[in-house]
Homo-oligomer: A and B are copies of this chain.
């Protein structure tokens, strides 16, 4: 009655290794060896015949069968904390691009900073024999702990491992150094007092940025740093509300150091709606693409997003726990 279920649109029969081998007049084993192990495993003439047959038939190795036999697929699991954040989206694009150049495929999930979603995806990807796990903004979760303990290949991007002990490689800027550099620049302008506008400090990147900024301010006698917390998960709204606090200060400092551009966007709206946008100098992190176009008032710590892909790729073969690849950052100052 019901015959073997098949995606009906697929070309039948599939161009399988067997077909190639038949066309070349060799056994499947030989064909596989030639195609995978290079030309040293067979006579030059055989190599040629097999290659030609594969080419002619348009052979593509079936991903599923390969993944089954080698216990490893060409899929790399990539988790992003919030694709709504353009900088993460760009990083993800860069990673995807680098992976594809190696013949790998990016499976992507937006975790919305939710541990349950993250774990769900990690488990699913493990069931798919994912080759590695790239976490662009990981949250701590039981599933992550499990993988860490199992020694799975983990790469943390842009936000170091949130766990107690780092379980994989890190790729991203040196957040503490970047924070310190930003703060030093601000101080060098003669600033004595500044706002540190931060979101939830549970995110490791933010913590480190704040640490660097604090260190720089602590190094200058009489310099004062007023920390203001932006409430909630949404950085834009949080920045807006935090700015309200700042505006209510008796003598608010001019310099406002935001731990991300999104916070700065929110803060700027707050200032603008109060008609006081001229009263502040805003600083951020990430240097969102649109800054030059619609937020020229913002200075920001910039990283080249295209640098992430190759850096992640470099860690892929064997991400050693605790290894860190720091990408260069620079301060992108607002014109004028």
By a beta-carbon cutoff of 8 Å, the part of chain A in contact with chain B is 5-11, 14, 60-65, 67-68, 70-75, 83-84, 86, 89-90, 92-93, 96-97, 100, 103, 105-110, 117, 120-121, 123-129, 131, 150-153, 236, 265-266, 268-269, 272, 289-290, 292-296
Inter-subunit contact A10/B105 (CB<8 Å): no
Given A10-B71, A121-B100, A269-B293, A127 and B61 touching (CB < 8 A)? yes
CB distance from A179 to the nearest CB of B (A): 23
Inter-subunit contact A90/B83 (CB<8 Å): yes
Inter-subunit contact A108/B110 (CB<8 Å): no
- Expressed in whole angstroms, the Cα–Cα distance for A178 and B100 within the complex equals 36
- Expressed in whole angstroms, the Cα–Cα distance for A243 and B75 within the complex equals 44
Given A266-B293, A269-B294, A293-B269, A64 and B67 touching (CB < 8 A)? yes
Inter-subunit contact A71/B7 (CB<8 Å): yes
Inter-subunit contact A128/B72 (CB<8 Å): no
Chain B residues whose CB sits within 8 angstroms of the CB of A83 once the complex forms:
89-90, 92-93, 96
Inter-subunit contact A84/B73 (CB<8 Å): no
Enumerate 26 A-B pairs (CB-CB under 8 Å) in ascending A order. Answer: A5-B72, A7-B131, A8-B151, A9-B151, A9-B153, A14-B71, A60-B123, A62-B127, A63-B128, A64-B64, A64-B65, A64-B67, A68-B68, A75-B107, A83-B89, A84-B89, A92-B108, A96-B108, A97-B110, A100-B124, A107-B108, A108-B108, A236-B290, A236-B293, A265-B294, A269-B292
Chain B residues whose CB sits within 8 angstroms of the CB of A266 once the complex forms:
293
Inter-subunit contact B100/A109 (CB<8 Å): yes
Inter-subunit contact A63/B127 (CB<8 Å): yes
Inter-subunit contact A128/B150 (CB<8 Å): no
Q: Looking across the interface, which residue of chain B has its beta carbon closest to that of A86? A: B86
Chain B residues whose CB sits within 8 angstroms of the CB of A61 once the complex forms:
127
- Expressed in whole angstroms, the Cα–Cα distance for A293 and B240 within the complex equals 9
- Expressed in whole angstroms, the Cα–Cα distance for A117 and B97 within the complex equals 10
Q: Looking across the interface, which residue of chain B has its beta carbon closest to that of A5? A: B70
- Expressed in whole angstroms, the Cα–Cα distance for A219 and B60 within the complex equals 54
CB distance from A281 to the nearest CB of B (A): 16
Given A11-B150, A294-B294, A126 and B73 touching (CB < 8 A)? no
Select A289's contact among B84, B100, B294, beta carbons within 8 Å. B84
Inter-subunit contact B150/A9 (CB<8 Å): yes
A83, A153, A296 — most chain B CB neighbours (10 Å): A83
Inter-subunit contact A96/B68 (CB<8 Å): no
Known: A10-B150, A63-B73. 10 other contacts (CB 8 A): A5-B70, A5-B72, A6-B72, A7-B131, A9-B153, A10-B71, A10-B129, A75-B107, A83-B89, A269-B293
